[in-house]
Amino acid sequence: MERLLVTGGTRLRGSIAISGAKNAILPLLAGSLLSERPVVLEGVPSLIDVKTMKDALESLGVKVNWTGDTMQIDPSSLRSLEVPPTLARRMRASNLVMGPLLGRCGRFKVSYPGGCTIGSRPMDLHLKGLRACGAVIDDDHGCITAEAAGLQGADIHLDFPSVGATENIMMAATLARGTTIIRNAAREPEIVELQNFLNKLGARIRGAGMDTIRIDGVKKLNQEIAHRVIPDRIETGTFMVAAAITRGEVLINNVIPEHVEAVTAKLREAGVSIKEEDDRIIVTAPSNWKAVDIRTMPFPGFPTDMQPQMMVFLALAQGTSIITENIFENRFRHVGELRRMGSQIRLEGRSAVITGIKDLTGTVVEATDLRAGAALVLGGLAAENTTIIEGVQHLDRGYENLESRLKMLGAQVSREII
């Protein structure tokens, strides 16, 4: 078992560069399945989730060569249409192969996916969209199988702007006959990234970033391309909070400031100084900050993936903050661990009431999911004495070299194998 030891009290200073976005690279890898020609992806972050998606592609017969931050994918060798259950259960995003496999081969078989335990995370919107395009789907006994004699464009209204469902439908519709319209589509930057990537391959998609996306089906994708993935907005936000919570000053490079606007706005409201310059952000923290209220919302609202990190920041604010979680019903598992560090947080249904205190105290805590783990690291950076964080495997799913990069900024962090 591995754990992280974080000794708080150091103000973070210096500069850091943000890695490629986890939530962008995963759909791009899945989307590569639609192409018949080699694809090169650059800026690929070294993460367990990326390794899992690579394994999933290889299990389908695709050749993948990953060297440094470049991945070469040859989807022409695709031969299997079934993702082994062990891989599917390791990560929710494994479900993103459904759309491409259906689009290119008219069939797939996957197990119900796993991932972070932050809510029930059903698949109904994905399946409703794929069915509307003509797929016959059976989702019994933890396994989803689908067949389509030929996908047909459809007019689809999503009940909720689900990121994954929007991506799966976009990918399936790319090779469908006729036009597909997705209404109430997710507007996240990762959707725009997927559109840009698929269009480079030869797809005809427009509207991503707005709530209606139009996909004109094409016969095949056969452009040989290289594509650099966008920077990770959640990693950016996490480093912004790391700078703020340690009362430090950090220059964050390789950022798209518009992607973190909601986080920037809330940190500024609390009293943190944030300067935006082209592709970088400079965060300068005050010695004390104010309580603010937050409601998580689909993009461009405040991201649920930054909720735990902001909660620990607000645990040290002056005054009482309320965070309302509107995306995942079970995303408060970090609250118990933050309480163990001394924070005063009360849960009322989907809201957390956070009464700011002066100091957190280091203790042994457990990361229950990826972003909860990030919140505990941030708490450790601000706490008196040492915090021991167990469940580090969750952090490795989504943060590249977290401890060495925090160390570059002066943090006292080490990894221990016991």
Q: Catalytic residues, which ones?
A: 116
Give me the amino acid identity at 379.
G
What's the closest the beta carbon of residue 410 comes to ligand UD1, in angstroms? 29
Task: Choose between 122 and 178: whose C-beta lies nearer to ligand UD1.
Answer: 122
**Secondary structure class of 29 (helix, strand, coil):** helix
Instruction: Please count the helices (runs of H) and the strands (runs of E) in the chain.
Output: 14, 23
- Sheet with 386-390: strands ordered across: 364-366, 386-390, 2-7, 412-417
Q: 289 or 299: whose CB is closer to ligand UD1? A: 299
Distance of closest approach, residue 344 Cβ to ligand UD1, in angstroms: 26
To ligand UD1, the closest distance from the beta carbon of 281 in angstroms equals 21
Nearest residue to ligand UD1, using CB?
Answer: 164
| Residue number with CB closer to ligand UD1 (122 or 319) | 122
Burial class (CB in 10 A: 0-12, 13-18, 19+), 55: middle
SS3 state of residue 292:
coil
Comparing CB distances to ligand UD1, the nearer of 52 and 304 is 304
Residues 6 or more apart whose CB falls under 8 angstroms from that of 343 comprise 312, 315, 354, 357, 360, 379
Which residue's structure tokens are 């989702």? 139
Cite the DSSP H helix spans in 106-184.
Answer: 124-132, 163-174
Q: For residues 320 and 324, which CB has a smaller minimum distance to ligand UD1 in the complex?
A: 324
Closest CB to ligand UD1 among residues 160, 226: 160
Tell me whether strands 294-295 and 320-324 are parallel, antiparallel or unpaired: parallel
Contact 190, 216 (CB under 8 A): no
**Cα 56 from Cα 70, distance rounded (Å):** 18
- The tally of CA atoms less than 13 A away on the side-chain side of residue 376 is 35
Which parts of this chain interact with ligand UD1 (CB under 6 A)?
23, 26, 92-93, 119-126, 160, 162-165, 186, 190, 304-305, 327-328
- Residues 95/124, Cβ–Cβ less than 8 Å: no
Q: Cα–Cα distance between 216 and 176 in angstroms, integer?
A: 8
The minimum distance between CB 210 and ligand UD1, in angstroms, equals 16
Q: Which residues contact 124 (CB under 8 A, 6 or more apart)?
A: none
Contact 208, 194 (CB under 8 A): yes
Secondary structure of 54-76 as H, E, C letters = HHHHHHCCCEEEEECCEEEEEHH
Closest CB 189 distance from ligand UD1, rounded Å: 11
Tally of CB atoms within 10 A around 317:
19
Nearer to ligand UD1, 129 or 379 (CB): 129
CB of 259 to ligand UD1, least distance (A): 13
Residue 122: CB minimum distance to ligand UD1, A: 4
| Both structure tokens of 214 | 């139009």
